A and B are shown apart, each in its own frame.
Chain A
Amino acid sequence: ELKVEQNPLFLSMQEGKNYTIYCNYSTTSDRLYWYRQDPGKSLESLFVLLSNGAVKQEGRLMASLDTKARLSTLHITAAVHDLSATYFCAASLDTPLVFGKGTRLSVIA
């Protein structure tokens, strides 16, 4: 059974700092997703990672995938307040999609 674990679950970071969110999954997965959710809103897709060593970047966010370690990371560079949100990773082998519990990120001045 595929299980997905994120950590930390809560993260308070200062503006301008760097930090990494970790996403571990328990069995082989053929794809890994990262999503963002603002309070009271729907989910927005950030990245889809399909192969070992995949790295994708969008603005201050960079996601990577290590299928051998069963680990994906979401790295935040020079955080700004607008990045405050809950971030989810999700993994799948065939289907269905299994989500982590989410990391609630607060960026403070």
Chain B
Amino acid sequence: EAQVTQNPRYLITVTGKKLTVTCSQNMNHEYMSWYRQDPGLGLRQIYYSMNVEVTDKGDVPEGYKVSRKEKRNFPLILESPSPNQTSLYFCASSFDTDTQYFGPGTRLTVL
């Protein structure tokens, strides 16, 4: 089954404790991206990747890192999480400008 998977789905952590949210797709898509969704603000792009070893900043990259060492994986790293990074995070993938497939989301709470 074609899908984008994210782990964990729910995470509660404390300020400053490094964490990684994994994203994996099985559709051989070149393009992958991370978004955060906040009430009243909609979805905002954090980082995106056009292919392996190619990543670029979206609208709200501060406090986040990504890597794209393999085509299927695109982890989101929070080196020192803060409460303002409490949000719902989505990973997505696509062939270039085509239909994007979204993962199920990761609900992160930073205390």
Binding site for B on A (CB under 8 A): 30-31, 33, 41-45, 48, 50, 88, 90, 92, 95-102
Contacts and interface: CB of A to CB of B under 8 A. Distances in A.
A48 B90 contact: no
Given A43-B43, A95-B45, A95-B50, 15 more contacts: A44-B102, A45-B100, A48-B97, A48-B99, A88-B43, A92-B97, A96-B33, A96-B48, A96-B58, A96-B59, A97-B45, A98-B45, A98-B59, A99-B42, A100-B42
A92 B59 CA distance: 12
Contact of B104 (A42, A45, A90, A101): A42
Interface string B95-106: 001111111110
Interface of B: 33, 35, 40-45, 48, 50, 56-59, 90, 92, 97-105
A95 B96 CA distance: 11
Nearest to A92: B97
Contacts of A45: 99-102
A41 B100 CA distance: 15
Nearest to A4: B42
- Interface residues of chain B: helix, strand, loop or mixed (majority): strand
Nearest to B50: A95
Contacts of B59: 96, 98
A31 B97 contact: yes
Nearest to A31: B97
Contact of A33 (B40, B41, B100): B100
Contacts of A101: 40-42
Q: 9 nearest interchain CB pairs?
A: A96-B58, A96-B45, A99-B43, A101-B42, A45-B99, A43-B102, A42-B102, A99-B42, A31-B97
16 contacts: A33-B100, A41-B104, A43-B90, A43-B100, A44-B102, A45-B99, A45-B101, A45-B102, A88-B43, A92-B97, A95-B48, A96-B45, A96-B48, A97-B45, A101-B41, A102-B42
Contacts of B97: 30-31, 48, 50, 92
B34 to A, nearest CB: 10
